[in-house]
Structure 1
Amino acid sequence: MNLDWLLEYNPILLALFAALFTWALTALGAAMVFFFKQINQKVLNSMLGFAAGVMIAASFWSLLKPAIEMTEARGETGWIPAVVGFLSGGAFLLIIDNILPHLHLGLKMDKAEGIKTTWKRSVLLVLAITLHNIPEGLAVGVAFGALASNPEAGALAGAVALAMGIGLQNFPEGAAVSIPLRREGFSRLKAFNYGQLSGAVEPIAAVIGAYLVLVVTPILPYALSFAAGAMIFVVVEELIPESQTGNETDLSTIGAMLGFATMMLLDVALG
């Protein structure tokens, strides 16, 4: 795939376009609520497992590995920014998780996390899903922002592969949001709107990530690792536990394996 022509564009603009693509696939997945009122638990577990697998693979192949290689190419110790950035990303999401009011699907209002508030259940449900999408948007933004210091077709292809992988897992994730909302009594249109709205944070986070990398170039390896840590936090804290609901845990495990393999294939083949 010849992507050289894309290198002429501003990395921030490319990050925005890529994140708009991932948001569009979230909306496309959320649109499944117009065709289905319920979602089989086996299917839901498989989709959530697939999303977890994609994010785990993206965290290493698209973020941590390039961060380590970039640092070593400068003659520095590769593991330092990888470890520091990775743990910082996880700590950042931990803080947000404890501050931002949110409620996970299927739980009662007294199980809401974050600062106590009088916000409606619908708002808390959407905020819980929005929390998932912040690190995904950051990852896309940082990957495209990296093109400013490494304007090569290979780096661009890797960023495109990351956006494709995240977009691919956003489709089932969108459905996994809107359809359960429909089951909770929301109208189809309202469930769709909330489902696609959960992905709206990705373009915002992508632009912020790309801009920060462009302004402070030396932080790039740390920024890549930061995004990886944030994504792994979401996977371990939310996606994996939610995918293990019920007795069909093998399906969520298979989904995770397939998601990992798919993202690995995209990154290695394109990057």
Structure 2
Amino acid sequence: MFTAICFINGAAIIFLIDFIIHKISPEIDHELNIDKINTFSQTFSEIDSKYGSNLVQVQTSHGKKDGFGDVTTKRTLNRMGILTALAIGIHNLPEGVATYTGAVNDTKLGIALAIAIALHNIPEGIAVATPIYFATGSKFKALRWTFISALAEPFGGTIGWLINSDGLNANVNGIMFGLVAGMMVTISIKELIPTAHRFCPSRD
């Protein structure tokens, strides 16, 4: 019974995080979709081919691009990228805890979780970097925010380590695994499986 309660609480934590993220940034679509990423890229390609040299690419004193489009467009894209980075960072925190906890119990399980989550994070990185790059024209700034959002997972792993720093207490271990099981089942159903389905060419 206690294990089931921990499992349910783990699932509830993920739903609570998603709810908070949507409240903070309701304009951002957190359902990352390869079709939307491709559409986003195609839109900028069409703008470039249509306007050519008329596309605003202001040069700074350092000779670098200062983004694409007018000031309003750049501000909107920059805000969207930063909010996406923060949202993904918050969402990745329990994934770090889950990966650490799984690896402590079974190294193969930890590796499998790490690979699955890493693959899932690729489109998330694109979703963060693309708008920031087009807003600022700076690859460094785009990579910086992508890196910041990615730090959440090792930070989550550190939290897992601190909880178990005095050794694997049976009660703490049971609670952790119950919570993590609920988190990972929810993440798998809400995130990993849908992402795999979207990226599958046959969609079967």
> What is the TM-score when the length of structure 2 is the normalising length?
0.56
Structure 1 residue 240: Cα displacement: 7.7
Aligned to 1:33: none
**Letter of the structure 1 residue corresponding to residue 128 of structure 2:** V
Q: 1:133 aligns with which of 67, 72, 92?
A: 92
Partners of 2:102 and 2:110 within 8 A in 1: yes
Deviation sequence 1:10-54 (CA, Å, 0-9, x none)? xxxxxxxxxxxxxxxxxxxxxxxxxxxxxxxxxxxxxxxxxxxxx
Give the counterpart letter for 2:163 in structure 1. Answer: L
For residue 221 of structure 1, report the CA deviation from its aligned partner. Answer: 3.7
Do residues 170 (structure 1) and 121 (structure 2) align? Answer: yes
**1:88 — aligned with what?**
9
- How far apart, CA to CA, are the structure 1 residues paired with 2:114 and 2:89? 17
Pair 102,237 (structure 1): closer, same or farther in 2 beyond 3 Å: farther
Using the TM superposition, give the Cα deviation of residue 98 of structure 1 relative to its aligned residue in structure 2, in angstroms. Answer: 4.4
Q: Whose relative contact order is higher, 1 or 2, with alpha carbons under 8 Å and at least 6 apart?
A: 1
Q: How many Å separate the matches in 1 of 2:191 and 2:197?
A: 17
Task: List runs of 5+ in structure 1 lacking aligned partners.
Answer: 1-78, 108-119, 147-154, 244-249, 259-271
- Structure 1 residue 162: Cα displacement: 2.2
1:142 Cα deviation (Å)? 1.0
Distance in 2, matches of 1:125 and 1:171, equals 14
1:158 equivalent in alignment to 2:80: no
Amino acid at match of 2:180: A
1:237 deviation in Å?
5.8
Residues 10 and 180, structure 2, Cα contact 8 Å, conserved in 1? yes
How far residue 223 of structure 1 moved from its aligned partner, in angstroms, is 1.6
Task: Please say which structure displays the higher CA radius of gyration.
Answer: 2
Whole-angstrom distance in 2 between the partners of 1:186 and 1:84: 47
TM-score when normalising by structure 1: 0.44
* C-alpha contact (below 8 Å) 2:17/2:91 kept by paired residues: no
Are residues 1:223 and 2:176 paired? yes
Q: CA deviation at 1:228?
A: 3.3
Contact 1:143 1:210 in 2 (8 A): no
2:169 matches 1:209: no
Question: Which residues of 2 match residues 178-189 of structure 1 at below 5 A?
Answer: 178-183=129-134, 185-187=135-137, 188-189=139-140
1:144–1:156: 8 Å Cα contact kept in structure 2? yes
Secondary structure of residue in 1 paired with 2:200:
helix
Is the contact between residue 92 and residue 153 of structure 2 (CA under 8 Å) also seen in structure 1? yes
In 1: Cα distance, 2:173 partner to 2:161 partner: 10
1:103 corresponds in structure 2 to 25
Task: Provide closer, same or farther for how the CA distance between residues 170 and 126 of structure 1 changes in structure 2, counting only shifts above 3 A.
Answer: closer
> Residues 166, 239 of structure 1: CA spacing in aligned structure 2 closer, same or farther, 3 A cutoff?
closer
- How many angstroms apart in 2 are the aligned matches of 1:238 and 1:162? 13
- Identity, in percent, stands at 29
Over the residues paired in the alignment, what is the CA RMSD in angstroms?
A: 3.7
Alignment of 1:260-271 (within 5 A): none
Shift of 1:143: 1.6
Change (3 A) 1:169 1:125: closer
- 1:145 is matched with 104
Q: Superposed, which structure 2 residues align to 1:187-202 within 5 Å?
A: 187=137, 188-202=139-153
Give the residue type in structure 2 aligned to 1:212.
I
Are 1:132 and 1:234, in contact at CA under 8 Å, matched by a contact in 2?
Answer: no
- Alpha-carbon contact 1:90-1:233 (below 8 Å) kept: yes
Query: How many Å separate the matches in 2 of 1:186 and 1:229?
Result: 39
Residue in 1 that maps onto 2:200: 254
Q: Residue type of the partner of 1:129?
A: I
1:176 is displaced (CA, Å) by 3.4
**Distance between the aligned counterparts of 2:98 and 2:7, measured in 1?**
12
Q: Distance in 1 between matches of 2:191 and 2:136?
A: 23
